[in-house]
Structure 1
Amino acid sequence: MFGFGGKAHKEITPAALHAMLESGSALVVDVREPNEFAAGHIAGAVNLPLSRFAVADLPDAGGRAVVLQCAGGKRSGMALDRCAAAKAAIDTHLAGGLAAWAAAGYPVVR
């Protein structure tokens, strides 16, 4: 998929992300606002809202792949554009966001 700024973004499916989380090879960064995160999120996700998203504030993933996620994919794509502008290695987000994750039957922490 192409990003909003013309940069290529990698999208992964909920099944692929679930497998990565099960194997301990991914860190999910949820770019929704705190109230959205509190209402439901992927277990283990770190909240870094797009409204104050800065690449420098991304947590140390400890060798895991960082996967950005939002409600449906738009905001995580915007955050990926910021990562690309900062020349960060982060280029992947969850296709369809939390909505796709929940629709696929994966658990949401509430």
Structure 2
Amino acid sequence: MVAAAAATTLAAGAAILVVTAQPRLAPWTLDPTDPRVSLEDVEREVARRHPVPEVEPAGLAAMLGRGEAMLFDVRTQEEFDAGHLPGAIRIEPGSSAAEILSLHRDRLGDGPVVFYCAVGVRSSQLMTATLKQIAPHAGGGVYNLRGGIFRWAADGRALVKGDGPGKAHHFDASWGQLLARTTPR
């Protein structure tokens, strides 16, 4: 979809209307209740809209197994409390690079930094806004977890909730339907 922007310019006493086309993303079109929509569809759409470096869950699991990754959960406190990836630190969606660095710069170190949320939208948006400032402090690169906590859970990987196993998502029944019909890779 293209939005038109108009500007008026005076040239030799005459008004000239200049119309320029500016690309605009269409609204989210994937319905998680539609049985034809898969998590893979959502992953592709997130990657198209927010092209940032990604890591697959298997790659992140290997990083975490070696103690290499710093993991940031970009969801609300309620979502985090319902279930999160082991070792994750929660940060507010929309946090600035300055906020993240002031609180966590000393933890970034030489390994990779990985952001995640439910399916990757909020975490990739945060990465887009902060990547240039955070990357110099992350020796192993900065990544978004492809498919977010949904893909992690669908692949059968452990989640944490307090002292026991957690849930990937429980606030929206629509997105819960998508998770319920997602099969592990």
Task: Give the TM-score taking structure 1 as reference length.
Answer: 0.86
Aligned to 2:87: 44
C-alpha separation between the residues in 2 aligned to 1:54 and 1:3?
20
Structure 1: 5+ residue runs without aligned partners? none
The reply to whether residue 54 of structure 1 matches residue 96 of structure 2 is: yes
Q: Over alpha carbons, which structure has the higher Rg?
A: 2
Aligned to 1:66: 113
**Matched ranges for 1:1-110 at <5 A:** 1=47, 4=50, 8-51=51-94, 53-58=95-100, 59=104, 60-84=107-131, 86-89=132-135, 91-110=142-161
Q: Aligned letter for 2:134?
A: A
TM-superposition CA deviations, 1:9-48 (whole Å, max 9, x none): 1111110000000001101100001110010000110000
Contact kept, 8 Å, 1:72 with 1:98, in 2: the verdict is: yes
C-alpha separation between the residues in 2 aligned to 1:109 and 1:57?
25
Secondary structure at 2:71 match in 1: strand
Task: Give the TM-score taking structure 2 as reference length.
Answer: 0.53
Structure 2: 5+ residue runs without aligned partners? 1-46, 136-140, 162-185
C-alpha separation between the residues in 2 aligned to 1:80 and 1:100?
19
Secondary structure at 1:32 match in 2: coil
Aligned to 2:3: none
Q: CA deviation at 1:72?
A: 0.3
C-alpha separation between the residues in 2 aligned to 1:22 and 1:91?
18
Contact kept, 8 Å, 1:30 with 1:69, in 2: the verdict is: yes
Identity %: 35
Structure 1 segments, 4+ long, off by >6 Å, are none
